[in-house]
Copies of this chain bind each other. A is one copy, B any other.
Amino acid sequence: MSSYEASKLYRIRHSAAHIMAQAMLERFPEAKIAIGPPIEEGFYYDFDLPRPITEEDLQWVENRMKEIMRGDHPFVCREATPDEARKLFKDQPYKLELINDLVNGRVDDNGNPIAEPAERITLYTQDSFTDLCRGPHVENTHDINPDAVSITFKMPAGAYWRGDENREQLTRIYGTAWETPEELQDYLHRLEEAKRRDHRLVGEKLGLFTFSPLVGKGLPLWKPKGALLRDTLERWLRQVQLDNGYQPVVTPHIGNLNLYKTSGHYPYYKDSQYAPIQIDEEEFLLKPMNCPHHIMIYKSELRSYRDLPIRYAEFGTVYRYEQSGELHGLTRVRGFTVDDAHLFVTQEQLLKEFMDAVRIIQYVFNTLGLTDFRARVGIRDPQSEKYVGNSELWDKAAGIIIQACRELNLPHVVEEGEAAFYGPKLDFIIRDTLKREWQLGTVQVDYTLPERFELEYVSEENTRERPVMIHRAPFGSMERFIGILIEHFNGAFPVWLSPVQAVMIPITDRHIEYAESVAAQLRAAGIRVEVDGSKARMGAKIATAREQNIPYMLIVGDRDAAAGTVSVRLRTDEDLGAMPLAQFIEMAKGIIESKSLALN
């Protein structure tokens, strides 16, 4: 049971879902009810309704829910035989199907597979409503604050019974519930803010990227400003990696199917790979992973212990299948570039190299101000068969990861089932400014691929030994990472990442020449600058620059031209007044070179 499932909030939401079902049945007595679980930040319930739901219905239901919550209705649990349950739900076909599945040991009342057939069915009742349910719930409906609850309906809901598009289409009503009205308001505010910050909108507004149906769904086209942002991030990390002894390599975007059969990526990840391409007598895959390519570079020479550690880095673009309904801007795409590296190390080097890889990730996140993160050690689920390799090595690898966390004083949780198929890993989970969690950087220990590819090095004693591999990526995917950065910063990137760092705003046409000469000096100093020489008025130019989140607006008029100054206005609307050009350049260069999050 996760900590969320054990929380009061979980019980509140679970109970609110039942209350919503009660209110809905009062509004639509002929409605057929399906399932209604708590979810992250709320709950939902699926209904088969006799007619489309209206805004009025929704308002009625929400009001009625609050009324029930203000009442005094305990949640009462009892057990029933399957036959008693079937009688109780005789007009509810979805419930009858669930009861049959419970009895036959197929799925539980939330639709999840279960192992053991149920002999007794658990029921929960509040007020006039009873549901199939294993709980837990709050004790009484009045334990839920009615002012901390809200429900919504979004078209198109597209919820199918059991998620099966061949079954009945249901109406899903979402709700959210919190402990206090303040928490609800905060949540609704974050929702609004997330909508406003949606990287697809902001990316469009800032001209960062675009999609074209003629190129293909989920395949972003990076426009000049986005390509510049992306390249700036890439060159920065590349340099950090060079400084840490990484060596860039370049490999093709396709590979023989046998390469992935050897690695085990095929058929393990067959469903997320594109169909093979036939070339002469061979089959090729669009590269789903970079590791096998880097392994073949390792294998191209006989390696000695003196050569290790070897650290191959590549911003390698990989292609994976996603259903078109799952695609979402930059954060869920069909082709993305991993800031990948593969380290080949001796057993003795493993701990230090692992810790150094973690330090790079910490440095990267700290530089970007992503300081609210937690670490998760993902180990295999011992029940699952998707993991390869022997359990002794799995334990050894997990031990190294946990030891590294301890030595780095890195708070971490261990979670089963979160490993890669070839070994355990450490993931960094970031909370952005909207408190949303994103899994980003990862460092993984791998004894399996060296075994499968029979990697070797010659030891000091002249024996053949097997290296260990570390897979790691601080950003994870350039596309997804930039999508998250856009939302985190709401498009107002740190100056060093801003595609345009300064805009010259001449007050009238006769100041354009001076503006151009200042721009030339800024460019010579390595500052990315544009001149707004349009016919618009100054106020409109400032509004445009603010809209584009350009860090510095340099307004120039007669006095500036005469004195060699610029009047500096920040995108935060702070006015720094006139300053000598040299002073501005020094300030801006300092901010850019230090990768500061501040503007001055």
Contact = CB atoms under 8 A, between A and B. Distances in A.
A105 interface: no
Given A212-B300, A223-B297, A255-B216, A321 B277 contact: no
Residue of A231, A279, A317, A335 with highest tally of chain B CB at under 10 A: A279
Contacts of A275: 277-278
A215 interface: yes
A251 B222 contact: yes
A254 interface: yes
A546 B249 CA distance: 24
A259 interface: yes
Nearest to A453: B214
Interface in A265-307: 274-275, 277-280, 282, 284, 286, 292-293, 296-297, 299-301
A212 B324 contact: no
Given A274-B277, A284-B216, A300-B210, A224 B255 contact: no
A312 B226 CA distance: 13
A212 B321 contact: no
A480 interface: no
A254 B248 CA distance: 24
Contact of A223 (B212, B249, B258): B249
Residue of A247, A253, A275 with highest tally of chain B CB at under 10 A: A253
Nearest to A235: B235
7 contacts: A214-B256, A216-B284, A221-B252, A253-B319, A274-B277, A280-B323, A286-B286
Nearest to A222: B250
A213 B293 CA distance: 11
Contacts of A301: 207
Contacts of A284: 216, 274
A227 interface: yes
A220 interface: yes
A230 interface: yes
Contacts of A213: 256
**Which label, helix, strand, loop or mixed, suits the secondary structure of the A interface?**
mixed
Residue of A212, A214, A297 with highest tally of chain B CB at under 10 A: A214
Copy total for this chain: 2
Residue of A219, A252, A278, A279 with highest tally of chain B CB at under 10 A: A252
B221 A258 contact: no
Interface in A178-214: 207, 210, 212-214
Interface string A223-249: 110111011000000000000000111
A114 B594 CA distance: 71
Pairs of residues from A and B, 7 with the lowest C-beta to C-beta distance, nearest first: A224-B247, A222-B250, A210-B300, A212-B296, A219-B252, A252-B335, A227-B248
Given A259-B215, A293-B215, A286 B254 contact: yes
A41 B162 CA distance: 74
Contact of A321 (B210, B216, B279, B300): B279
A262 interface: yes
Contact of A221 (B215, B297, B321): B297
A279 B215 CA distance: 13
Nearest to A263: B214
Residue of A213, A247, A297 with highest tally of chain B CB at under 10 A: A297
Nearest to A214: B259
A215 B253 contact: no
Contact of A317 (B221, B253, B293): B253
B219 A254 contact: yes
A462 to B, nearest CB: 15
Interface in A341-359: none
A249 B249 CA distance: 21
Contact of A296 (B215, B249, B254, B334): B215
Nearest to A319: B254
Contacts of A317: 252-253
A296 B223 CA distance: 10
Contacts of A312: 224
